[in-house]
Amino acid sequence: MDSGHSVLVAGETLVDFLPGTRGPLATVESFTRRPGGAPANVAVGLARLGETPWFWTRVGDDPFGESLVGTLESEGVPDRFVERDPEARTTLAFVAHDEDADRGFTFYRDGTADTRMEPGRVPDEVLGSVEWVVAGGVTLAGGPSRRATLDLLERAAGAGATVAFDPNFRPELWADGEFESTVGGALEHVDVLKATAGELRALGFEGEDEAGLARAVLGSAAGPHTVLTTLGGAGARAEAGAEAPWGPTTATHAGYPVEPVDTTGAGDAFLAGAVASFVGGETDLSGVLAFANAVAAVTTTAAGAMTALPTREAVRTFREG
């Protein structure tokens, strides 16, 4: 049986092109290349926080893929499940920022490597050896990766791993109605759901506010026993049901005051912080939110998603400062 890694992360690795100026993408004339992809950010975030995971991903056998593989290697992420596709390109995402550093994405992802992940690539014995499996919604958007991701979630749940999931809703990747039906079906295998209020509404849940939306998830047949709702600069909220290992509880954390430079990857940083906190033995959801919000806050103070992810020592210094 494999040992030494408590977490398996699965999903896309891509290249983010960050704009040289704020404003609509049509007006941006220069970009800076950065490694990205929500699951890749989570994997590197966990590694920097001292909880290096397995990472299952697929990139093209091209210069962009080579660069991404090198980045993962430099971060200490094992290459066992990092696949190179000889017949497909690596996904590219162009980012645009508004005046508040919020961002929009334009993807070049038609038939790219991360849409071609195949079921069964992670053996059952690996899923049986980890405590957590973390995945996101982008690889569910289409192609063979949809079936591969659903297969992984189902087998992980069957193996007894705690499954964490981030819908990571990108409307431009989904046909009408497919997000709610596909991701809604995937939630059957999910224990901890990290989402925004907008994503919960896109999944068909109803509630007047974040608390009502979270209770709607817990009161449904969807599957999750815990909902972590991110609130941007207002922090985050956690709601757990009776089936949660930490018991039925509610927690909130107002976040930390920072001057954001780039919010790209803040949600991924939050998820990495939350999972690292859980793996480290934290069962108080207030403590989980405080740590995860700190990881996210530090990430927004520098450009790029993966490149801005902090170490555990950096998070400690930030919280003490």
Q: What is the DSSP string of 273-286?
A: HHHHHHHTT---HH
CATH superfamily membership of 37-90+117-320? Ribokinase (3.40.1190.20)
Instruction: Report the C-alpha gap between 58 and 81 in whole angstroms.
Output: 8
Q: What is the pTM assigned to this prediction?
A: 0.94
Amino acid at 146: R
User: Which of 72, 56, 50, 51 has the alpha carbon at shortest distance from 155?
Assistant: 56
Render each residue's pLDDT in the chain as its tens digit; 321 residues.
Answer: 345 799 999 999 999 998 988 888 888 999 999 999 999 999 999 999 999 999 999 999 999 999 999 999 999 999 999 999 999 999 999 988 766 555 678 999 999 999 999 999 999 999 999 999 999 999 999 999 999 999 999 999 999 999 999 999 999 999 988 999 999 999 999 999 999 999 999 999 999 999 999 999 999 988 999 999 999 989 999 999 999 999 999 999 999 999 998 888 899 999 999 999 999 999 999 999 999 999 999 999 988 789 899 999 999 999 998
In the chain, at which residue ranges do the beta strands (DSSP E only) sit? 7-10, 14-19, 31-36, 54-60, 82-85, 92-97, 103-108, 132-136, 162-166, 192-195, 226-230, 236-240, 249-253
